[in-house]
Amino acid sequence: MAKIKFGKIEFPQNGVLASGIIGVTGWSMAKVAKSGAGGITCKSISKNIRKGHPNPIIQVFEQGIINAVGLSSTGAENSNKELKILRQNSNSIIIASVFGGTKEEFGETVLLLDKNVVDIVELNISCPNVHSEFGLPFSSSRETSAEVVNYVRKLTNLPLLVKLSPNFPNIGLIAKACEDVGADGITAINTVGPGMLIDINTFQPKLSNKTGGVSGPAILPIAIRCIYEIYKNVKIPIIGMGGITKTEDALQIIMAGATLYGVGTGILYEGTEIFSKINTGIDQYLIDKKIDYKDLIGISHRC
């Protein structure tokens, strides 16, 4: 497949590693890049070091995973070092996901990023696992979402993605509000929830935080619906993710409107080779259907 145009950036492949636990060290991210990911999103970076929640923070269930990592981070300075290792060992597009408790903290963190390494900034305004610490995510409304994007937009020339939550109504209108104040693209979706699992022997929630975000195959239909709504409301491109484990999943995400597909939890099911498997499957699908990739994006809206 030829390079994929995403706004002003060209991706060497159409799969993107979603922000998560695997995106911490430069070498682990480089391994994913060599497995066929055209873009690598690091775990969300905070300005300073954050411990996150105590263990247990992850639980697997039949249809997916529930996690409450709590936005742990090694801080901007250490993250820059790891992203530099990634840059030196891959040709993938590097997406720095950032997090802040205020719009000012988002801005301060973005300004600390190494601009010689980072290609795109993703504003993670939608984590569902830190309500007790920060209250409702910024992505809960058009006004608060736009407020963060507008503030950061004035501080950097780097392309800005906004990661949105499926947990609030009108995700399409929220995406449009972000576009109106300068967002260059949308990442959707973040985890669903928060949800809860209970240990039937101890009678207690399985996570130390009690609740956590739900990911994996169970959320695929929600992701497809959200991307479909976003595509109807914006002109900027979308990285679509949520429950992708195979080629058919990625195709549905693209048909709903995503220019690129993203994988996070799917790596736990298929390993880092999931990108090369899906890419090969998409290429064969395009050959069989005699259709160009660019015509596949959002095709469900035109048929």
Q: Are strands 39-41 and 260-263 parallel, antiparallel or unpaired?
A: unpaired
Mean pLDDT of 140-162: 96
170 CB contacts (<8 Å, ≥6 apart)?
142
CB atoms within 10 A of CB 170: 13
What's the pTM value of the predicted model, to 2 decimals?
Answer: 0.95
The residue type at 101: G
Q: Which helix (H) or strand (E) holds 47?
A: none
- Label residue 284 exposed, middle or buried (CB < 10 Å: 0-12, 13-18, 19+): exposed
pLDDT tens-place string over residues 196-251 = 999 999 999 999 999 999 999 999 999 999 999 999 999 999 999 999 999 999 99
What are the Cα distances from residue 37, in Å, to 16, 54, 96, 154, 273? 5, 31, 15, 30, 9
pLDDT tens-place string over residues 4-55 = 999 999 999 999 999 987 878 999 999 999 999 999 999 999 998 877 788 8
pLDDT tens-place string over residues 109-145 = 999 999 999 999 999 998 654 444 456 788 889 999 9
CB 45 within 8 A of CB 19: no
List the beta bridge partners of residue 260. Answer: 239
pLDDT surpassing 60 at residue 282: yes
pLDDT surpassing 50 at residue 105: yes
16 CB contacts (<8 Å, ≥6 apart)?
37, 38, 39, 40, 41, 93, 95, 239, 241, 260, 261, 262, 263
**How long, in residues, is the chain?**
303
The residue type at 151: Y
Q: Is the dihedral of CA 139, 195, 79, 188 positive or negative?
A: negative
Both tokens of 65, joined, read 């995973």
Among residues 134, 130, 139, the alpha carbon closest in space to that of 162 is found at 139
Residue 135 confidence (pLDDT):
60
pLDDT bracket for residue 169 (50, 70, 90): confident
Q: State percent of the chain over pLDDT 90.
A: 83
Q: Are strands 9-11 and 39-41 parallel, antiparallel or unpaired?
A: unpaired
Active site residue 127: yes
Mean pLDDT of 251-259: 98
Residue 134 confidence (pLDDT):
54
Residue 69 confidence (pLDDT):
83
Among residues 213, 211, 222, 212, the alpha carbon closest in space to that of 244 is found at 222
- When the pLDDT of each residue in the chain is averaged and rounded to a whole number, the result is 93
List the beta bridge partners of residue 160. Answer: 121
Point out the catalytic residue in the list 42, 127, 178, 226.
127
Tell me the C-alpha distance between 287 and 274, whole Å: 20
Q: Which CATH architecture has domain 4-52+70-200+216-301?
A: Alpha-Beta Barrel (3.20)
Domains in the chain: boundaries? 4-52+70-200+216-301
Least confident of 101-105, 179-183, 278-282: 101-105
Among residues 134, 164, 119, the alpha carbon closest in space to that of 71 is found at 134
